[in-house]
Amino acid sequence: MHKKKYEHNEMTDNIIRSVYSSKSYGDHRRSVPIAMRKLGWPKYVLYNRAVQLGLVEPKRKQPDWSEKENDVLEEYSGESDESIQRILIRKGFIKRSLCAIQVQRKRIGCGIRQGRIDNGIFSATQASIILGVSSKTVVDWIYKKLLPAKKLSDGRLVQHLISAKNIRIFAGNNPELIDLSKADKIMFITLMAGKYE
C-alpha cells in the first residue's frame, strides 16, 4: 500500500499561513482543525509544512534521561508524575513533561503502581484484587471507616491509598467479608505474612 502524498501549492501554503501567521494564532485549537478539514491533511503534515515555511519553530527533542534523573525516579517511585516533575525541577534538572515522566518510568520499570506496592501502599483497586471483592466494596469500607485510607485528589479524580498493614489488620478482623475464591492468593498470602510492610 502506497503512502498518501500531501501535495502543497500556493493555495495550501496561503491557508497554512493564515492559520500560523494570524494574530489570533494563540487560539489555534479552532483554526488548525478548520485548516485540516479544508486541506484534507492530518495535523502532523500541516505542522511540518508550517515548519518548512518558517511559520513555527520545530519541536526540539528533549535530551536523553541521565542516570541521576533515573535515580530520582526510582527513589521517589511511590510519588505521582506531578510530584516527580516538581522534585526533578527542585533538584536542578530540566523540566520534563508529564508524558515523558510516565514513559521513562515504564522504560526503567519503576511505575507509580509498582513503586507504591514496594512501599507497602495499595490503591482501592489493588486492595480489591487482594481481598477478592469489587473496588466499589473497598471504597464503601473506606467511607464506613472500616478500612483506614488516605484520600488523594487532583481535582478530577479521587484515589484512596491503603497501607498493607491496614489491609492485613482489616482482613484478620473481618474474614467473613473476604472472598478467597476470587482473591489473588499469592498477594493475599504475601500480605498476611507482612511481606509488604
Give the separation between CA 125 and CA 119, rounded to whole angstroms: 16
Residue 27 has pLDDT above 70, yes or no: no
Give the start-to-end residue ranges of the domains of the chain. 10-52, 67-116, 120-192
Q: Which helix (H) or strand (E) holds 162?
A: strand 158-163
The predicted pLDDT at position 1 comes to: 47
Instruction: Please state the rounded mean pLDDT for residues 82-97.
Output: 88
Give the separation between CA 147 and CA 149, rounded to whole angstroms: 6
> Which residues have a Cβ under 8 Å from the Cβ of 47 and sit 6 or more positions away?
56
Instruction: Please state the rounded mean pLDDT for residues 172-197.
Output: 88
3-class DSSP state of 76 = coil
Which has more pLDDT, 119 or 99?
A: 99
Residue 190 has pLDDT above 50, yes or no: yes
pLDDT tier at 101 (50, 70, 90 boundaries)?
Answer: confident
Residue 148 has pLDDT above 70, yes or no: yes
Which has more pLDDT, 154 or 173?
A: 173
The predicted pLDDT at position 56 comes to: 78
Phi, psi of 159 (to 5 degrees): -125, 140
Instruction: Please state the rounded mean pLDDT for residues 73-95.
Output: 83
* Whole-structure pTM value: 0.46
> Which residues have a Cβ under 8 Å from the Cβ of 179 and sit 6 or more positions away?
131, 132, 133
Is the distance from CB of 79 to CB of 85 less than 8 angstroms? no
Residues 120-192, CATH architecture: Orthogonal Bundle (1.10)
